[in-house]
Amino acid sequence: MKIAFFNATTNWGGVKSWTIDVAAQLQLQGHETILVGKDTRFAIRAKQKNIRAITTKFGSDFSPISIVKFLSFLKKERPDVVIVNVSKELRTVGFAAKLLQIPLVQRIGLPKDMKCCKKVQLLDTVLTPHYLFPCYYNRDGMLAHLPFVKKNKTTVVHTGKPCREVSISSPSKPFQFISTSQLNERKGHSELMDAMHILSTKSVQFHWHIVGTGTEEAVLKKRAIELNLSESITWHGWTQDVFSLLEKADSFLLPSYFEGLPNTLLEAMSCGLIPVARNVGGIHEAWPNELNQLLIDQDADATIWAEKLYHLMTTPDDIVIKNKSLVKQHIDTHFNINQQAKKLVDELEKVVQSTGN
């Protein structure tokens, strides 16, 4: 099967990591993939894994020039299926795929990624995309949000991660926390920083690694100085090699207020990091039952976060090691990229058959 992935976003999000991971695995399974994106970093990281990748502009929505450009591209490549992400791709590449009768799949990152309006309903009717979701929370939420979408036009395939060769070790001294989400308001870094301030008043030592960039970066850095946390935080910015940082940490922190099934969470868990996260979206679908005490209520404040982190930091080393191993085994068993890529191909083949190609 030949699969073409398109991504018109400029920020680095989980869908890009998912695309590269799954494309690399699909190639190992004998399929052909090609990635087309606007972000040059997307192509760079893809090529590092020997994936064909092209950087291009997508133009304005419904642009005849863009549609003709992608029409020519798809005529030349003739993929069996096209996978898009946001509405920008749907309104350019989607029309080209429809004209060539190439099955179109749209991956949905959050239940309300698309507005419930006549334009979206018309696109659903005209382009007839099949909707792909990384978790049931996203699928069920979108079906409730967009009542015109038919359930039989949807598929859930959980995000998969490669089994990583990592050494499970005793917690570091000081204890190492890490967050790898975009530095945007909805990701909850500000509240987590207040929790770190509370921790700093206790007799424990820790270091917090913050990976990523975003609109709140300057505000957060200023806040860290105000709370006297500068010595306890390292700002890494955006990095091509997040795993080299994850593998040195003990616990992954995800205080987001909104999520689907976060790619960042699965990456961290694949390295054996103990997760602490707000119970939102589809996070519970990836969570080991044995660590439910670290899945924090949606309305929990910084005090609750500080209590959970303090308890984790003061847990005996042998229990921490046991929990790290449990987390890694959970991901390797239930979210293995090899298994999930095979499931994806099975579902894509059904989509191709249903469209008569």
List pLDDT tens digits, range 17-65. Answer: 899 999 999 999 999 999 999 999 999 999 999 999 999 999 999 999 9
The Cα–Cα gap between 339 and 62 comes to: 37
> For residues 274 and 271, what is the distance between their CA atoms, to the nearest angstrom?
9
Cβ–Cβ under 8 Å, residues 274 and 291: yes
How far apart (Å, rounded) are the C-alpha atoms in residues 335 and 188?
26
The DSSP 8-state label assigned to residue 67 in this structure reads H
In contact, 3 and 97? CB cutoff 8 Å: no
In tens, the pLDDT along 149-201 reads: 999 999 999 999 988 999 999 999 999 999 999 999 999 999 999 999 999 99
Report the pLDDT value the prediction gives residue 112, as an integer from 0 to 100: 92
Percentage of the chain exceeding pLDDT 90: 92
Query: Given the DSSP bridges, would you call strands 130-133 and 274-278 parallel, antiparallel or unpaired?
Result: unpaired
Residues 6+ apart with CB under 8 A from 203: none
| Domains in the chain: ranges and CATH | 2-160+336-354 (3.40.50.2000), 175-334 (3.40.50.2000)
Contact 162, 337 (CB under 8 A): yes
Comparing CA positions, the residue from 127, 118, 126 lying closest to residue 146 is: 118
Structure tokens at 355: 């469209």
- Rounded to whole angstroms, the Cα distance separating 135 from 318 reads 33
Q: Which pair of structure tokens corresponds to residue 229?
A: 């946390």
Instruction: Report the pLDDT value the prediction gives residue 153, as an integer from 0 to 100.
Output: 96
Measured CA to CA in angstroms, residue 160 lies from 131, 141, 269, 285 at distances of 18, 21, 11, 13
What is the pLDDT at residue 357?
53
**Residues present in the chain in total:** 357
253: which strand partners?
276
What are the structure tokens assigned to 313, written together? Answer: 């930091």
Rounded CA separation 273/251 (Å):
5
Q: Is residue 118 within a helix (H) or strand (E), and if so which, with residue range? A: helix 118-127
- Burial (CB count within 10 angstroms: exposed 0-12, middle 13-18, buried 19+), residue 29: exposed
Residue ranges for the chain with pLDDT beneath 70: 356-357
| Strand duo 32-37 + 52-55: pairing | parallel
> Does residue 172 sit in helix, strand or coil?
coil
